Chain A
């Protein structure tokens, strides 16, 4: 029996939860003890209800300025608050307290560089799980992550600045930058085609199964094409996507978690039904013709398995990289523009028969891959680490 601390520090959406909870359950099935630390403390009850120890992850202070175009993984961390030495020191202190309390044998990080750092300082065994974005490829300097690359001087500057930050935190001086991103075991819980920094040599265990939780809704009986959309309210294009779906000859189901119920009812007109909460996707995906999302790897994987082509509207770099990968594979259309052209993009996607055929073929191919339960497989690998 070993004790695992599964830590999620960055990334605000449900994808992380959807990954780490099944992983924790799989570890527990194998007889291990699991504690969670979540970035979003409002999600802790999902773990606590299931009998897990559930901690609020220490959070860095939000930086006053945000660089919209970070050049590499080091730059992304600087963007997320790693310039702020006082905050970094405080957060490391709080991870120490948390680790002292949870007493893990190994730390499993799902985009949790501060947990990785604390575990490295304390010589704990470490692993990473994720969709690939947090697992920076190793090179010196850390490689460019934006489409189009970056000049080497800029990459070196970002690395150097991150090193300077670490050097000012007790016990972190001399810890190599790579230790923030990579561990002894690094599990890619995604398909190579969905890896925003891939494909690459690595342990692709595949994405986790579709969430069993959420509100259960059904398609109506009509024969019009079925579009499933998973959208963020904070995307400025949200209303335009809704309008485009309402104008399309399709029936659409839109999950917009966080939208108040009465607003969702008001938005449900034409062939569109909007729900302000997470939906149970599996039954909907069985019979879907196309999906609309932002490029979150979880929903994208669901759509790929269902053979549905995707219209993707990325909101940040990770989603853009995922979207670009899927466009390369010929199974998605990416929309990077403003709201005015969303309607045309949706209409083009729905009319694109070859796109749909490629998506179907891709799903068949995924189905033929040697499959296993990704969570169980990951648990077995992590168990070997803690032994």
Chain B
């Protein structure tokens, strides 16, 4: 029996917390104990984590201030407290505090680079468990993730050197050996890169094990498809997304049958969307049965997009942040969906919706091709192997 701390530090949306909770339950069924440190706490109600320790992950209240458009890992770190060694020392201190308090034997980091630093300082075994964006390739210098932008390599190298210097200053305070290169920050005992090469934010990487996408489609509220004629559209968007207005209009105008989960949607919009043919759930939906009969899945390009691909479902992807933008582009490249990146262009969203519906047969072929390529992939098997590997890491640690 081991105590396992799940750390989610960066990145938004429900996907991280959901994936951590699912893996934790699998580990718990093997007799392990889990504790959580989450970036966002408002989703706890949807996760059924009663009776477990749930901590606030230490965060900088000034995230994203004073930094330009991020193009590489070091930029992400600069925007999250790594621009100042004093700030970073504070965040590391917070992680050390909570890892000690929950007496963690192992840390599972889901986009939690500072938790990894704290685990390194404490000499704890650690694994990472996330998608391609949160687990960048271990290269020096670290590669940019924006091939669409002109990047000044010298300036980027300077920023990476700055982050590395601050990381090493903090490691030094704790008597830990300095890193030779920034990517060593991400050194782990096992890396669960949960994506496929086609969806990898950094493009295909050599000599890397892909564990397949992670998604949880079996938990949630059971909502059957409404009876009727119109196309069946599954909608998973943040209720506060500015594009929601156009989506609602299109769904109503095209007489779609709708199953939707739109957390944070205001009452007026909910009332407009809700109808005999259109079900709006207050809780996350059990996606597995819905994906089977779905004509179009409208989502932001988070973990659920992977689930849609694996079920051969056409998508309209409306990315809300850069990480999702790349996923959206990859889904377009696979000819499995339509992506509308701009959040301020309602007409483009309407046109994208129309195009996705019109071309859904072709998009389904694209998604199907993807699904067939990975026909052997099984989320249950993925989970079993991850659990087994974590137990191996624990056993190795016990021996040393």
Which residue numbers of A lie inside 8 Å of B, CB to CB?
12, 39-49, 53-59, 61, 64, 84, 86-87, 89-91, 93-94, 97-98, 100-102, 258, 260
Contact = CB atoms under 8 A, between A and B. Distances in A.
16 contacts: A40-B61, A42-B60, A45-B92, A46-B90, A49-B93, A55-B94, A56-B98, A58-B56, A61-B42, A89-B45, A90-B44, A93-B54, A94-B54, A94-B55, A94-B56, A101-B101
A45 B56 contact: no
Interface residues of B, number: 36
Contacts of A89: 42, 44-45
Contact of A42 (B44, B81, B101, B102): B81
Residue from the set B56, B60, B264 with the largest chain A CB neighbour count within 10 Å: B56
Interface string B93-126: 1101110011000000000000000000000000
Nearest to B39: A59
Given A45-B90, A87-B41, A91-B56, 10 more contacts: A42-B81, A42-B87, A42-B90, A44-B58, A45-B86, A45-B92, A56-B55, A56-B94, A61-B40, A90-B43
A210 B102 CA distance: 37
Interface of B: 35, 40-45, 53-62, 66, 81, 84, 86-94, 96-98, 101-102, 240, 264
B41 A55 contact: no
A41 B41 contact: no
A86 B45 contact: yes
Nearest to A84: B42
A56 B59 contact: yes
Contacts of B264: 64
A101 B60 CA distance: 22
Nearest to A57: B56
A44 B61 CA distance: 12
Identify whether the interface residues of B are mostly helix, strand, loop, or mixed. Answer: mixed
Given A42-B60, A42-B86, A61-B42, A97 B54 contact: yes
Contacts of B35: 97
Given A97-B53, A258-B66, A45 B89 contact: yes
Given A42-B86, A64-B240, A86 B43 contact: yes
Given A89-B45, A101-B53, A41 B240 contact: no
Nearest to A58: B56
A44 B43 CA distance: 25
Contacts of B53: 97, 100-101
A88 to B, nearest CB: 8
Contacts of A101: 53, 55, 98, 101-102
A381 B88 CA distance: 35
Contacts of A91: 41, 56
A90 B41 contact: yes
| 5 shortest interchain CB distances as A-B pairs | A90-B41, A41-B58, A42-B87, A48-B93, A56-B58
Contacts of B45: 86, 89-90
B5 to A, nearest CB: 12
B41 A94 contact: yes
A256 to B, nearest CB: 13
Contacts of B102: 101
A86 B53 CA distance: 17
A93 B54 CA distance: 7
A41 B45 CA distance: 24
A100 B66 CA distance: 37
Contacts of B240: 64
A93 B60 CA distance: 21
Given A54-B97, A258-B66, A42 B42 contact: no
Given A54-B97, A64-B240, A41 B55 contact: no
A98 B53 CA distance: 8
A48 B54 contact: no
A84 B43 CA distance: 11
B61 to A, nearest CB: 5
A148 to B, nearest CB: 31
Contacts of A43: 90
Contacts of A59: 41, 56, 59, 61
A311 B45 CA distance: 48
Contacts of A39: 61
Nearest to B96: A48
A118 B88 CA distance: 29
